Chain A
Amino acid sequence: MARIDLIPVPQPPVAGSASLSLPGAPSAAPGALRGSESFGDMLSNLLSTTNDLQIRASEQSQALLSGESKNIHETMIALEKANVSFRFLNQVRNKALEAYREVQRMQM
């Protein structure tokens, strides 16, 4: 029976709450909307998330071009996340605009 040994990997210093070191990781906070959170807050959070994802997608693509990273799936995933997030943002904007116009019509 072959003997199998663990190769020791030097442990990084305890990072505490540096758990989101991977930029692509989803936010660890619970996703439930709290009752007091306004639509505006949600929208601005979504905007900032979308922006972060777009930046990351751009960085990944550049890294691929320059040869710094050849991790294809990582790049593809980053692109797709940015894409989906942006579409979602767009939909939210469209619905909000629609709702606003609806309200406008009611006032006539």
Chain B
Amino acid sequence: MDLFQAMQISASGLTAQRIRMNILASNLANANTTKTPEGGPFRRKDVYFQTIGLSELSARSYPREAGRFEDELDRQLQGVQVSQVVRDARAPRLVYDPNHPDANKDGYIALPNITVISEMVSMMNSQRSFEAGVTAINAGKSMVNKALTIGR
């Protein structure tokens, strides 16, 4: 029943989307990068999300004597976290370009498997989720402020 829990949940969403956005932006910026310090072309990265329970979200313990329903409800409340950042394991895309400084002996360069449109759609999606999270936080704030007017 505590609106601050909701803010923690939303905050976790904002963090997760921000991380995702950074990864996507990096993919986009490196769509044509043929050489990286580790050798080989840039490899696309992806983020995977996973739920995270309330008790892990904050150090505060949640003692519950209020009754079964509140318990069940608390179990349903979950934030989100980035569980892993995964590198694209596919073989790089080979394109014939003998004049390129990074061309191999056969004249091919290796390019990342990145489609600009696809990354941009994901970014738009991530932005929308981020904004939804911000709206959620603002709604929670308004509700708390309104509750404070009881008794005025």
Contacts and interface: CB of A to CB of B under 8 A. Distances in A.
A–B direct contact (CB < 8 Å): yes
Interface of A: 7, 9-12, 21, 67-74, 76-77, 79-80, 83
B67 A74 contact: no
Contacts of B4: 70
Task: Give the contact-size bracket for chain B.
Answer: 10 to 19
Interface string B60-71: 100100011100
Contacts of B72: 7, 9-10
Contact of B2 (A7, A70, A77): A70
Contacts of A7: 72, 76
20 contacts: A9-B68, A9-B69, A10-B72, A12-B68, A67-B60, A68-B63, A70-B3, A70-B4, A71-B3, A72-B3, A72-B148, A73-B147, A74-B1, A76-B147, A76-B150, A76-B151, A77-B150, A80-B150, A80-B151, A83-B151
Given A10-B68, A76-B151, 15 more contacts: A7-B72, A7-B76, A9-B69, A9-B72, A10-B72, A70-B3, A71-B1, A71-B2, A72-B3, A72-B148, A76-B150, A77-B150, A80-B150, A80-B151, A83-B151
The 3 A-B residue pairs whose C-beta atoms are closest, nearest first, are A73-B147, A76-B150, A80-B151
Nearest to B149: A76
Contacts, number: 37
A11 B144 CA distance: 31
Interface string B1-40: 1111100000000000000000000000000000000000
Interface in B44-89: 60, 63, 67-69, 72, 76
A69 B67 CA distance: 15
A12 B150 CA distance: 33
A64 B151 CA distance: 17
B8 to A, nearest CB: 10
Nearest to B4: A70
A82 B67 CA distance: 25
Nearest to A74: B1
A70 B1 CA distance: 8
B82 to A, nearest CB: 27
Contacts of B3: 70-72
B78 to A, nearest CB: 14
Most buried by B among A11, A73, A83: A73
B144 A72 contact: yes
